[in-house]
Amino acid sequence: MGSDGSIASQFFKRTIHNRQAHMSESDQSLLMMEGIGKAFPGVQALEDVSLTLRKGEILCLVGENGAGKSTLMKVLTGVDQPDSGKIIFDGREIQPKSPLEAQELGISTVYQEINLCTNLSVAENILLGREPHKAGRIDWAKTNALASATLHNLLGVDIDVTKPLGSYTVAIQQMVAIARALYVASAKILILDEPTSSLDEHETDQLFKVMKKLKNQGVGIIFITHFIGQVYEVSDRITVLRNGKLVGTYETAAISRVGLISKMIGRNLAEFDEMTKTKLESGKHIKSEALLQARGYGLTDAIQPLDLDLHAGEVVGFAGLLGSGRTETASILFGVDKPDTGSISINGKEVHDHSPLNSIKRGIALCPEDRKAAGIVDDLTVRENIVLAIQASKGWLKYMSLPEQYEIAEKYIELLNIATPSADQPVKNLSGGNQQKVILARWLATNPQVLILDEPTRGIDVGTKAEIQKLVLSLAEEGKACVFISSELEEVLRTSHRIVVLRERQKVAEFAGDVEESTIIHAIAGSEA
Amino acid sequence: MKKIFNRTFAWRQVTENTLFFPIVALSLILLFDFIFIPGFFSIENRDGNLHGSLIDIFRNGSTVMLLAIGMTLVIATGGVDLSVGATMAIAASVAGILMNPSALKNEVFFVTDPNYTFQPLWLVIVSALLVAILCGMWNGVLVAYMRIQPMVATLILMISGRGIAQLITNGLRVQITYRPYSFIGQGWIVLPFSLYIVAAVFAISWLLTRKTAIGMFIESVGTNFRSSFFSGIDEKKIKLLVYTFCGLCAGIAGLVASSNIKTSDANNIGLTTELDAILAVVIGGTAMKGGRFSLLASMVGALVMQAITQSMYAIGVPAFALQAIKAVVVILVILLYSEQVRTFVRGISASKKVV
């Protein structure tokens, strides 16, 4: 504790040592995670996933939502304990039980939301708890000098460390967080969890410079992002996860963008035939009149104006990467967010007072992407969750009698095969897949004409996924118009009669009928076929 | 074997019930009274009206019970209303000044005629309650439409409310001697009249929340307002409604309180009662984060609060020490209520099964 200057010098000694090690044994891995498995109630989050990180490299971890990236990192940093598999770090097996323990071992994480104190100075943030003392009091001159030297030497950043952290940009704050991770924990592995999502281009460049500098010092960096461009800009290798499974690890130079995206969104031709048959059969019933018609419909900073028609008996798939504007489109179609341009007609009549309640009354339903935050009401029972939307559309006075409520609830519990001990079970006690079915039941109970399903199969097991896909097709057959949004292209292809491709908050293409998967991947990636 | 299983199953159902812990708490306090205070349970019949310490608990607890009804619904939406005490004072001031406007002429006028009132009683009551409803709506607008944190939003009226009440009465305490008004808080028809008011408000609230969809909407908004919005529930309207209703309850409580002391005292009516009401709701088992609520359990919670006060007075704890003693008892009650203790109790019941 006494001579704090020595920590920094120790760090340099170590990094020099690392660099030499890096040169001589460049293949030696710093971290090996082998056969990691982790299950949460109702969902296998990780299944036999392996990952290696070499000294002095930047490894990108990519995959769509629910692929298992964050769970894998939680296992590595001790937030969650794996059910199976082992972690070998620096040549010996470790089993971190808490983030603090992982940090002490030399594995530090910098999160998207910065967990530092913005009202304290930069120097205090870096050295908090380790300030050099003089005569029992903090030696501020030394503290500031040390902090400034750390920032300069490690990251090449020169700023006034006495100013409060909050007075700097998010990018600088992130670097301070990195500096703290390196200084306090002398991290050998640095995990950057979506650090660039709130940064602008210039700030991102600044961060990348720092990452490259650290890489040259021998630090292993795991970089999580969903911006494909950045993956190619900064990484050495890429590990792709999908549905909790490892797809593979690739040298960045050896894989094309299109190749990477198709690995992320996946394809699997098995089971395809049966679904295709059903799809063709149901495709015969598509009506020509549009149930819902949007023209130049858009919202600034969310989705650029687009035209969209939804016909009875048709499933329209939205394909695109995370952040491409899929969810935003669903939100304005349902009336969660108010558009600032364009018009929308339902059943041929233009409507202006679009809101969730009015949409429900007009026969539109949205099964939202974020099940926990916008879907289930976890303290309420299965019955109450199922009747919620239909009761809301009836108003508070026309309260459905309990027998009526049980009848509806029990009908859908049976129809959708919801595994619950009774209709009176609080919905929070159900597994993810069954919660999803409860929300589906809520919307089906309103008997909608237009059903928008945003990631209805995320985080649920394969069997339930197939059930839901079949359900969507059979609903279309009954004459409903469905929108099917999914991160898995395979699934969109399998269930949709027509596919709308979104990229960078814009509708870029629309394909009807049989379409090659590669055509869609090219449209998503924005490159020529 | 089968019998034992059935019995433990029933026991578990009993402990899971929201009313279980509030009733246990109340029973413990009453047990204490039974042992240490002679005559606590005796009930006298005076001219056909019932009197006694138990009746007093109900009578003196009526204001907190009224507040607890409104507060339960507000807390169930995930909010809190700190201004109910101040709203009581405002309603009392409006009532007082309408019956005895002498304060407006800057004179303290001691009315001695119990039949004198400046305005008819119905107008007095309706005006006071309308003003209380306005107070509640003000809170509701701030919380639901201006998106201000409930604690901050209602703090505004909590602080300024007593000032407003004083403005209404020109800074003076208004004597109220009109006998029909006094009946609200002091009258008896076998039981204290205020209890009938509580019963009526409770019955109306229960019907409104449990026989219409409002109760479900409130619980849904309190548990997850975003999901509720997606399901077509107008969460803003629901919040506006519960704060307005809470204001109305506070107004009724203000009438009862001022009738009880025959004065509209802007500085003291309902002072710190907001805290009693919140505690009553918490003891009743409604979580501060919102969601599930039970009006009946909140009523029992309010009685627990009043029983503590009453018992402390009865064993001779001086008024100035009361708050401290009350705090200790409240801590004990809340501890009894915590998840850890509940698990412990369940553990005991489970071990009984083995024996």
Strand-strand pairing, A133-134 and A137-138? antiparallel
Q: Is the pLDDT of residue A3 over 50?
A: no
> Rounded to an integer, what distance in angstroms lies between the CA atom of residue A5 and that of residue A2?
9
The residue assigned the tokens 């913005």 is A118
Task: Inspect the interface and report whether the beta carbons of B219 and A398 lie closer than 8 Å.
Answer: no
* Residue A143 and residue A127 in contact, taking contact as beta carbons nearer than 8 Å: yes
Q: Strand, helix or coil at A399?
A: coil
Chain A CB contacts of B229 below 8 Å: 336, 356
Name every chain B residue with its beta carbon within 8 A of the beta carbon of A361.
232
Which of A67-76, B80-89, B237-246 has the least mean pLDDT? Answer: A67-76
Q: Chain B residue closest to A402 (CA)?
A: B211
Q: Do B223 and A374 touch (CB under 8 A)?
A: no
Q: Does A111 touch chain B (CB under 8 A)?
A: no
User: What is the pLDDT, as a whole number, of residue B300?
Assistant: 94
pLDDT (average), residues A487-497: 83
Which of B247, B263, B220 is CA-nearest to residue B99? B263
Element spanning A49, H or E: strand A43-54
Reported as a single tens digit per residue, the pLDDT across A87-107 is 999 888 999 888 888 888 888
Within this chain, domains A5-59+68-241 and A272-288+313-334+354-525 share the same CATH topology? yes
Interchain pair A357, B292: CB under 8 A? no
pLDDT at residue B5, rounded to an integer:
45
Q: Angle between the A402-415 and A382-394 helix axes, to the nearest 10 degrees? A: 120
Assigned CATH for A5-59+68-241 = 3.40.50.300
Which residue among B212, B213, B220 places its CB closest to the CB of A377? B220
CATH number 2.60.40 given to B2-354? no
Contacts of B212 in chain A (CB under 8 A): 396-397, 399
Residues of chain A neighbouring B216 (CB-CB closer than 8 A) = 380, 384, 388, 391
Q: Is A518 a residue whose pLDDT tops 70?
A: yes
**Searching chain A, which residue's CA lies closest to the CA of residue B213?**
A396
CB-CB under 8 Å, A379 with B292: yes
Above 80 in pLDDT, residue A332?
yes
Chain A residue with minimum CA distance to B214 = A396
**Contact yes or no for B233 and A394 at CB 8 A:** no
Distance from CA of A331 to the nearest CA of B (A): 10
Look at residue B8 in the predicted model and tell me its pLDDT. Answer: 52
Helices (H), A186-297: 201-216, 228-234, 257-265, 272-283
Residue B275, min C-alpha distance to chain A (Å): 26
* B77, B206, B220, B231: best to mutate for the A interface, most A CBs within 10 A: B231
Report chain A residues whose CB lies below 8 A from the CB of B232: 356-357, 359-361, 389, 392-393
- A366 in B contact zone (CB under 8 Å): yes
Residue B108: pLDDT band (50, 70, 90) is low
DSSP secondary structure, B338-349, as one string: SHHHHHHHHHHH
Q: Are A376 and B228 within 8 A, CB to CB?
A: no
pLDDT level of residue B110 (50, 70, 90 thresholds): low
Total beta-carbon pairs less than 8 A apart between chain A and chain B: 75
Per-residue pLDDT, averaged over B89-95, amounts to: 96
For B38-84, write each residue's pLDDT tens digit.
Answer: 888 888 888 888 888 889 999 999 999 999 999 999 999 999 999 99
Taking an 8 Å cut-off on Cβ atoms, the answer to whether A357 and B228 are in contact is no
Q: List residues in chain B touching A: CB distance below 8 A.
A: 211-214, 216-217, 219-220, 223-224, 226-234, 291-292
A255: contact with B, CB 8 A cutoff: no
Contact A393 B217 (CB under 8 A): no
Comparing A142 with B204, the larger pLDDT belongs to B204
Cβ-based contacts of B292 with chain A (< 8 Å): 379
Do residue A380 and residue B231 have CB atoms under 8 angstroms apart?
Answer: no
**What's the pLDDT score for residue A67?**
78
- Contact A396/B211, CB-based, under 8 Å? no
Containing H/E element for A309?
strand A303-311
Task: Judge: B213–A399 Cβ closer than 8 Å, yes or no.
Answer: yes
Closest Cβ–Cβ partner in B226, B231, B233 for A373: B226
Asked if B220 lies within 8 A of A442 by C-beta distance, the reply is no
Return the pLDDT at A180: 83
Comparison of pLDDT for B187 and B4, the residue scoring more: B187
> Looking at residue A53, what is its pLDDT?
92
Q: Are B190 and B50 in contact (CB under 8 A)?
A: yes
Q: Looking at the complex, does the CB of residue A143 fall below 8 Å from at least one CB of chain B?
A: no
| Per-domain boundaries in chain B | 2-354
**pLDDT single digits (tens) A287-316:** 777 888 889 898 888 889 999 999 988 899
Give the pLDDT score at B227.
93
pTM: 0.74
pLDDT for the residue A278: 66
- The pLDDT of residue A159 is 86
pLDDT over 60 at A328, yes or no: yes
- Per-residue pLDDT of A441-468, as tens digits, reads 999 999 999 999 998 887 666 667 778 8
Q: Which residue of B has its CA nearest to A360?
A: B232
pLDDT over 90 percentage in chain A: 24
A472 — contact with chain B (CB < 8 Å)? no
pLDDT recorded at residue B3: 42
Both structure tokens of A462: 């394969």
ipTM comes to 0.84
Residue of B nearest to A389 (CA): B231
Helix axes A462-477, A272-283, angle to 10 degrees: 20
- Residues A350-376 have pLDDT tens digits of 888 889 999 999 999 999 988 888 889
Q: Would you say domain A272-288+313-334+354-525 falls under CATH 1.20.1250.20?
A: no
Q: Are A388 and B230 an interchain contact pair (Cβ–Cβ within 8 Å)?
A: no
**Would you call B220 and A388 a contact, using CB atoms and an 8 Å cutoff?**
yes
Helix or strand run (H / E) with residue A349: strand A349-351
Query: Closest approach of chain A CAs to the CA of B170, in angstroms?
Result: 43
List chain A residues with CB under 8 Å of B213.
Answer: 391-392, 394-400
CA A97 to chain centre: 25
Whole-number pLDDT of residue A128: 81
**Mean per-residue pLDDT, B118-144:** 95
The angle formed by the CA atoms of residues A41, A44 and A46, to the nearest 5 degrees, is 130
A120-129, A166-175, B212-221: range with lowest mean pLDDT: A166-175
Cα–Cα dist A477/A485, whole Å: 18
Question: Which of A524, A19, A494, A509 lies closest to A269, judged by CA?
Answer: A494
Asked if A375 has any chain B CB less than 8 Å from its own CB, the reply is yes
- Closest CA–CA distance from residue A394 to any residue of chain B (Å): 9
| Angstrom distance (rounded) from CA B184 to CA B92 | 12
Q: Using CA atoms in the order B29, B33, B35, B38, what is the torsion angle rounded to 10 degrees?
A: -170
Compute how many other C-beta atoms are within 10 angstroms of the C-beta atom of residue B336. Answer: 16
The pLDDT tens digits for B300-323 are: 999 998 998 888 888 888 888 888
Contact A94, A88 (CB under 8 A): yes
> Across residues B261-271, what is the average pLDDT?
89
**What pairs with residue B44 in β-bridges?**
B51
Q: Where are the domains of chain A?
A: 5-59+68-241, 272-288+313-334+354-525
DSSP H helices in B211-318:
214-223, 225-230, 235-261, 273-283, 295-314
| Inter-chain CB proximity B227 and A375 less than 8 Å | yes
* Among candidates A379, A389, A400 on the partner chain, residue whose Cβ is nearest the Cβ of B231: A389
Write a three-state SS string for A473-526: HHHHHCCCEEEEECCCHHHHHHHCCEEEEECCCCEEEEEECCCCHHHHHHHHHC
CB atoms within 10 A of CB A93: 10
B211, B223, B226: residue with CB nearest A374: B226
On whether any CB of chain B is under 8 Å from the CB of A454, the answer is no
Contacts of A375 in chain B (CB under 8 A): 227, 230
Are B217 and A379 inside 8 Å of each other by CB?
no
Q: Which of B230, B242, B289 to mutate to test the interface with A (most CBs of A within 10 A)?
A: B230
